[in-house]
Structures are given as structure tokens and as C-alpha cells.
Amino acid sequence: MTFRKGTPLYYDAGQYRIDAEHQTDTDVSDAVVADREVSGHLTMQQFIRLGNYAWPYRRQIFFSIACALFVSAFWSLNLSITFPIVRVLFEGDSLHANVDREILEMKKEIEGYRQHVSALDEKDIAEHARLQRKINEASQVLLARQWTKDLILPYVPEDKFRTILLILASIVIATVLKGIFVYFQEILVGSLVNAASNDIRADVFSNAMKLDCQSLAGLGTSNLTSRLTNDVSEMGLGLRLFGADLVREPLKAVLCIMVAFSINWRLTAVGIIVLPLIGLLFTKSSRVLRKSSKRSLETMSSIYQCINESLDSFRIVLAFGRQERHVNQLKEANQEYYNRSQSIVRVTALVRPATELLGIVAFISILIPGAYMVLNETDQIAGIKLAARPLELAELATLYALLAGVLDPVRKMSGILPIMRRSMAAAERVFEVIDLKTIVPESSTPVTMPRHAQSITFDSVSFRYQTLPGGPSNPLSLNNVSFTVRFGEVVAVIGGNGSGKSTLTSLIPRMFDPTEGSIRIDGVDISEVALNDLRSQIGIVTQDTMLFDDTVYNNILYGRPDASHQAVEEAIRLSHAADFITTLPDGLNTRVGAKGQRLSGGQKQRIALARAILRNPTIMILDEATSAVDAESESLIHGSLRQFAEGRTTFIISHVINQTFLDLIDRIIVLDRGRIIAMGTHEELSRTSPDYLRMIQTECVPRKAA
């Protein structure tokens, strides 16, 4: 596989892609070849990985295979019963008389061959070998007939009608037993699939929880939800079909072929010559199905995105009366899903009739020579020997029944094929999440971080958000930022929208890592500290407050699960949340609803503040933590924070500058376009920084305390 030198080529989502500006016909051709190679590699890799998830439940696997063997045996047995039915109904003698006659004929035939052998010249080695082969074939038939006479016929009545009744009863019993084994196989495979799917879903979610903010945001909530639900379900369906149908159906076909070979291997070989053509048809169609399946699954993510976005922003949708717009978006996503799914339907619709056509060809390829030999009581056509002896009607009918027994599993597998390809496309998307690596890695040799007591230093820190492969580079969100904050200081970070305030404070708990430079706490580079060790000392309250669908008490306790009830009460007091908690129906035991939807914005912020206070952090980060509360409550909270901030380093991002806020802070850092343009106390900046004065007049909102 080669590409033109200088061609921008990158691997994305299971495919090689080429920058459109540099794309040529040769590049496209080579990329297609590369995609096919990668496709085959990925499919095998997915099978192996799915096998790894199934292996802990190998007991179910082994028992299900055993059940499949019994199902296949009873399937071929039912079809083989065609032989005695035809013998009884269409040939005059009973089974006993038929078997006795055939044994006598075989003995005579063998004796005749032996006489020919004894009369041959010793030099006629070829004829000697041919006759010996005839003797061996006749001896095998004789052995089978003698075995039938000794072990089976004693239980078969002489009366032909009773024989038919016995055969039909045997068919019913065999069908019941086959159904029982099918039932147990389905139960075993279903148990395995559900357990393996749960393990896979848990691993996907577990790895997602290990990612950093950028990687998770790039993946997207709706996309991840789609992979955790729809894709895992699609993959589970394919795993079930693989464990049940794709084990059972081929075994049924193989056993039927084996029985057919034992009756007449020459005609059977003629009939199954179409099987490679069916395999080629499956291979060709599977390539189209893989791409179409993955595209339809990606479109399903768009449907999730549309639904989630519309419901999460429902108040805005209602306020602006844009319901129709979102309905149309969903219709467009549905239409795209329909269009891509139709390509799967078209391929499936082609595979099934093509498979049936090839099956009819196989059937006719046996019917024509078989009928000729039966009608003419011969064993050859145009000098080509197609049977060991003249073919009988019972043998031909049994061959037809067994061939039908082969084609039925093949037909079923043609219907399973698109589901399996869709399942493999889903597996590819699911394993992509499991394989994602965080760009904020743990240190391989983490150092112990004592409780923060000295300083926090930003040393020439720059940061740029990641871009998509082949996309334009994002501008620097922070550009060569350097400063030191002493332990116990309360520092305000202000600036216009997009100035880098939230990015700067997010670097401290390593939500992101700097593109350049380093951050040190008490002289220790935070990239060398274990993430849990670092974050255990940090309390965060964000502007977009997120609460969990749980009680008020448990949402606060989330900050420190081992905290006492007294500590929770103290955190509630400092956050001034008690005044509204007492009015709730069940007080602290009131459920707040998904994302805290049963509470107001100010109430949610105070619970979030209590959660951060309960953590008893040495570093506090408040990002617009009081933006949703009223002026009076804000003043009270600032007073509590002044008390709580003693012995901690605190960063506060705010658009509101008032006297209680200024009384709380020690220093102010002013950011503009990712750079620090001023730093100092309010008084110092008021005297020395026109930019600060302009900013607090235009960007920050003065608000008097009530």
C-alpha cells in the first residue's frame, strides 16, 4: 500500500482519509485499498475482542455448542427418514424384506467381485485395484445394512402402515427433542450475551469516566449515549446470532452434507459446487453492509443529539416559539437515517433472492442427473460414473431432502449477514470509546503531595484547545501566563468573554494540561502528582451548576462521602442554604430532580457551594458561584466565604464587582485574550491600569450590597 509523497493522509474512525485539497484519483484508489485492508483487520480484531468478553462465560459457550450439535443431529435425522418412507410407500416390500434383499444382493455382488479378482492376471494391477475398491464399497454398504437389521429392525413392525406410523412418531419425537435443545441453547446464549454486553457497557462507561474534559467533549454526550445504548444493543444482537444461529445453522448444513456424502458422494459434490459462489456473494455484500451500517449508526447519534439538545433547551425553545424548527431537525435526521438504512435493505434484498437462485441451481444440478439415473436404472451418464450402483428412488429422494436441509441454513445465514455486519460496525464504534486515551495522563511515578501550605505558581503557561484531524489550529486560550499566588490569598480573575478565565482555573485541578509551561503547587509540578491526590484538595463551584437526581443531603455529601451530619449542617450554614432547605417538602431528603430541575438557579448554586465547602479543600475555585443569587444572599455568602477562606487559597471568577466582593479578595488578575494585562489590588489597579478601569465599567457589573 503506497501513497503519493506529500499526500496528507490520516486514520480516522476506522478509515484512511485524505485531505480534500490534495486528493487525486490515485490517492482515492489507494485509500480504498487501505480501507479494505483495515476493514478486514478491524473485523477480525473485533471478533477477538468480543471473544475475550465472552470467554469468562465459556461454560455457557461449551454447553450451547453441545446443544447445537444435538439440534443438527436431529435435523439431519428427520431429513434422513425420507429414505424409509419412500421405501415403504413407493416400493412394494416392507423394510425387513428390503433390507434382507439388499443384504443378499450385496453378498452376491461381493462374491462376484472376488471371483473376478481371482480370475485376473497378477500383472493387471489397475483392474485388481478397481475391483478391490468395488469390494470395499459393497462391504461398507453390507455392513450398514447388517447393522440396520440387527439394531433397528427388531423394533420396527412388519406391517407397512404401522411402520409409517412409527416413522412419523419418530419424526415428532426428534422434532420435540430438537426444540428442547434449541430452547436451552437460546437460554445459554442469551445469558452469555446479556452478561458480556453488561461488561462491555461497563468498560465503555468506565473508560469514558477516565477521560479528560476535552476528549469527552469531543466524543459528545449524545454520541456516547448512542454508543452505550443503541450500539451495545446492536452488538449484543450480533453476538447472540453468532452464538446461536451462526453455530447451529452451519452445523446443520455440515451434518446434512455428511449424510448425503454417505449416500452418494458424487451427486452431493455436484450439488454443493455452488456453495463457494454463495460464499463469494456473502463476502462482496458484507463490504457494502459494513460501511452502510456504520454510517446509519453514526446518523443514529445525530438523532440522539437532536433529541437531547431540544429537551435540554426546552425552556428556550418554548420562549422563542421554535418548536417547529426542532421538529424539522429531527425529521431531517430521521430522513438521513432512512436513506442510509435503505442501502442496507437494498443489499439484503439482493442477497436473499440471489442465495435462493443459487440453491435452485444446486437442486437442479442433482435433480437432472439423479432423475436420469433412476428412470434408466443406471449408475452413469455419458460414461461418467455418478453412483456406486444404479440409483434408486429412495436414495434420490433422500438426497433432495438433505440438500434442502443444507439450503435452509444457508438461506437463514443470508438474512443474518446484514445484522452481523451492523453488529460489527457497532462493535467498532463501541471499542473506539474503550480505546480512547486521556490527554491528561496519570504520572507513572506519582509523588506525594502534602496539604497545600505555600504557593501556587503558573510558569509561562500557554494553552490551546485540541482540533479535529486535518482542521485549522485553534488560537491560544492562554498565552505565556506567569504569576504566583501565596497560600491563603483570595484572588479574583476577571476579564471579558473568551479572555481565558475559566480555562486558567481549570488547569489547576488538571481538567486540561498546559500546552506549554508548568503549574506548581508548593514547588511540586502538578503533572507529577496523582490526580485523586491533587483533586482531593480542591473544591469547585461552576457557573453551570450540576446537581444529581438525588436528595439535597446526598448532593451535598457528594463533596465528601465520609463526612458527618454535623459537617453537612455546617456547610449548609456557610452557604446560606438552610433558609430555603427548610421550606422544601422533605427538607434535606427532598429529591432535586435531574440536573436539579426542581430548584431555582440560586438554590442550586448554594447547594453546590455547600458541596465544595464540605470537601474542606485547601484550594477553592469559584466560577461565577453567586451569579444566580440575589444581592442580599450574595452579600451574606461573601461574608461566609471571608471566614471560610482563611487558611485556603481561593480563586474567584466574577462579573460582579461590589464592595462585599472587594472586601473578600486580596488581589485581582486581569485577563485579555489569554494574556495577563494587569495584576494587583483594587486600589493599585484603579491608579495604574486604565484597562482595568475600562473593564470594570464595561465588562463587570457594579452591584451594591443590599
11 pLDDT more than 70 = no
Ranges 85-94, 117-126, 613-622: which has the least confidence: 85-94
Amino acid at 383: G
For 645, the 3-state DSSP assignment is coil
* pLDDT over 70 percentage in the chain: 87
* 297 confidence band (pLDDT: 50, 70, 90): confident
Q: How is residue 507 written as a grid cell?
A: 488547569
Amino acid at 450: P
* Cβ neighbours for 455, distance < 8 A, ≥ 6 positions apart: 484, 485, 486, 487, 520, 521, 522, 523
DSSP letters of 248-298? HHHHHHHHHHHHHHHHHHHHHHHHGGGHHHHHHHHHHHHHHHHHHHHHHHH
For 579, the 3-state DSSP assignment is helix
For 696, the 3-state DSSP assignment is helix
Q: How is residue 319 written as a grid cell?
A: 420562549
Amino acid at 539: G
* 90 confidence band (pLDDT: 50, 70, 90): low
Q: How is residue 293 written as a grid cell?
A: 451500517
Contact between 659 and 706 under an 8 Å Cβ cutoff? The reply is: no
Nearest CA to 617 among 588, 651, 655? 651
Residues 295-318: what's their mean pLDDT?
77
Structure confidence at residue 1 (pLDDT): 38
7 pLDDT more than 50 = no
* Cβ neighbours for 555, distance < 8 A, ≥ 6 positions apart: 547, 548, 592, 596, 607, 611
303 pLDDT more than 80 = yes
Would 160-435 and 452-537+619-629+643-706 be classified into the same CATH topology?
no
Give the separation between CA 365 and CA 320, rounded to whole angstroms: 70
Give the separation between CA 449 and CA 526, rounded to whole angstroms: 9
* 547-616: in CATH 2.40.50.140: no
Cα dihedral 360/366/367/373 (nearest 10): 170
Nearest CA to 662 among 689, 644, 680? 680
Ranges 175-184, 251-260, 394-403: which has the least confidence: 394-403
* 171 confidence band (pLDDT: 50, 70, 90): confident
CA distances from 462 to 137, 471, 513 (A): 86, 20, 10
Nearest CA to 606 among 592, 618, 586? 592
* 542 confidence band (pLDDT: 50, 70, 90): confident
Fold of 452-537+619-629+643-706: Rossmann fold (3.40.50)
701-702 vs 656-657, strand pairing mode: parallel
Strand segments, DSSP code E, in 192-304 are none
Nearest CA to 399 among 542, 277, 256? 256
Give the separation between CA 399 and CA 270, rounded to whole angstroms: 12
Give the separation between CA 468 and CA 28, rounded to whole angstroms: 21
Give the separation between CA 112 and CA 109, rounded to whole angstroms: 5
455 pLDDT more than 70 = yes
The residues spanned by each domain of the chain are 9-57, 160-435, 452-537+619-629+643-706, 547-616
Residues 367-374: what's their mean pLDDT?
80
Nearest CA to 54 among 181, 209, 188? 188
List the beta bridge partners of residue 486: 455
Residues 222-245: what's their mean pLDDT?
86
| Predicted confidence (pLDDT) per residue in 483-536, tens digit | 999 999 999 999 888 888 989 999 999 998 999 999 999 999 999 999 989 999
* pLDDT over 90 percentage in the chain: 23
**Which strand (E) or helix (H) includes residue 667?**
strand 667-672
418 pLDDT more than 60 = yes
* 160-435: in CATH 1.20.1560.10: yes
Reported residue count of the chain is: 706
* 23 confidence band (pLDDT: 50, 70, 90): very low
Alpha-helical (H) ranges within 523-627 are: 531-535, 552-557, 565-574, 578-581, 601-614
Distance, CA of 203 to chain centre: 10
List the beta bridge partners of residue 459: 518
* 32 confidence band (pLDDT: 50, 70, 90): very low
Give the separation between CA 470 and CA 23, rounded to whole angstroms: 13
Give the orientation angle of helix 95-119 with respect to helix 125-151, to 10 degrees: 160
